[in-house]
Amino acid sequence: MVCTRSQARIPLAEIAVEHAHKRMKTISTSQTSTQSHDEGGTSEGGFDEARENFPPSDQMIEICTPKTPRTGVYHTEWISSPFWRQSLSNDRVNRWEMSADEVVLKIFSYLKFEDLFRCALVCRHWRELSYDRILWNEFNLTQRAIPFDKLLTVLGYGTKYLSLSCGDVKERSAPSPRKRKENLMLEYADFGLCNIQPTQLSRVLDCAPNLVKLNLESLTLSGPVLRAIAKCSQLEILNLAMCQNVNASQLVAVTRNCSKLRELNLAWCNLSEKTFSRLFPVCCDRMEKLNISGGRETVSCESIATLSSNLPNLISLDISDCVRINRSALTSLAKNCPHLVEFSCSRVYELSTVDVLNWVRLMKCLKFFNSFPSLAIVNDRFFDFKEKMTSRFPHVRLNTKDRSDIARPCTSLHVPKGVSRLWERELRS
């Protein structure tokens, strides 16, 4: 059975005392035997005299016990004592207790999360090490299942980077009582395509006011979820692509309160034209990347004009599948967003080749233009458009990305097996 570090000191000291008594008994016996052989005396007197001069057991334990023990390191005088060196050969000594905490934490860092939970059951000391923040700084449950109460427990260990992409959060048949609210240290969170209830999601987000990057792609939202997001004053990246039940007033509150928001993805959220007209005027002027693709009948040229006038620092914009966009929208962008670097307009049927080429000529900072063959520029073939673009504007790269990466934690569909990415971080499986 493994004992704690505090419990190990007394037994080890007793072992040292036992070894010392045995050694003294052997020495005194040999000396008295020699004396009795020469003088004809007995061995009892010599041993009794040596035993009287030997320190008592309590004093030996006090000598062998470290005066100022440190975590993972024993006192130098204690280690250098002959009693300690002799006790090293004893099978009762726990080698793990002799190792520094940093060494044990390094070994634990290679274990799976399930094994860490098992290590926590060994002893109190291992329980403290198993729940150290260094081991739970990142928590990768991509395509995995976890009970909701266990998720809250793990996040309470100090997790900063969480990936539940394509995961499954299960609720127990008898839900645990609601605990006192404690702020989590969560900063990066990916819930994309996760099977999680809105009530569960709102409880997690309500305790994570320090969120910086959040992905909720393809989830069903609710009013409490958006209200919790609006409290994240440090939020910089938010992905709500293909989310359902997005409340317009709550979304406006999010864009108003999150003053540091730099990237926002609202693709295919089925927002109304009135929502867009209310949303853009309150967007933070720090917004650099915006995706409003999928607004077939809701994003108009007037919406683009309002957007461009309120977001002059845009460097990336995606308006794919916004079929009501025409040349006047491009004129507004050229006038109000001169720093645009990347632009995507796939399947925008009202734009012609001439309109696009004239607009690209005005955009001096443009470097990436995404418009796939289904763009169907009116009365022109795509390959003719591509040839004209490459010949007239060689500095503009055409169709470099297979999908928009705005506010998405993983920028590519082709990820090596066993690798999970959370924006710029790479999580261990």
Residue written as tokens 């080698």? Answer: 95
Q: Is pLDDT of 2 > 50?
A: no
Query: Whose CA is closest to 224, among 207, 242, 212?
Result: 207
Distance CA(354)–CA(351), nearest Å, equals 8
Supply the pLDDT for residue 59.
46
C-alpha angle with apex 153: 152 to 159, nearest 5 degrees?
A: 80
Residue written as tokens 């006790």? Answer: 87
pLDDT band at 205 (very low <50, low <70, confident <90, very high): very high
Q: Is pLDDT of 421 > 50?
A: yes
- Amino acid at position 298, single letter: T
Strands 213-215 and 188-190, sheet pairing? parallel
Residue written as tokens 């966009």? Answer: 325
pTM of the model: 0.75
Supply the pLDDT for residue 7.
42
Cα distance from N-terminal residue to C-terminal residue, the chain:
31
Distance CA(266)–CA(292), nearest Å, equals 5
Going by the DSSP 8-state scheme, the letter that residue 281 receives in this structure is G
Q: What's the mean pLDDT when you consider all of the chain?
A: 78
Supply the pLDDT for residue 347.
86
Going by the DSSP 8-state scheme, the letter that residue 140 receives in this structure is E
Q: Are 220 and 243 in contact (CB under 8 A)?
A: yes
Concatenate the DSSP letters of all residues of 381-419 into one string: -HHHHHHHHHHH-TTSEE---SS--TT-S-S-S---TT-
Q: Is pLDDT of 51 > 90?
A: no
Task: For 171-189, write each residue's pLDDT tens digit.
Answer: 865 555 555 567 899 999 9
Q: Is pLDDT of 329 > 70?
A: yes
Distance CA(429)–CA(114), nearest Å, equals 12
From the CB of residue 164, how many other CB atoms can be counted at a distance below 10 Å? Answer: 26
Q: Are 22 and 103 in contact (CB under 8 A)?
A: no
Task: For 347-397, write each residue's pLDDT tens digit.
Answer: 888 888 889 999 999 999 999 999 876 544 444 567 778 888 889 999 999
Reading the block at residue 358, the tokens are 């004239």
Task: For 92-134, write each residue's pLDDT tens digit.
Answer: 566 777 788 888 899 898 888 888 888 889 888 889 998 898 8
Supply the pLDDT for residue 18.
54
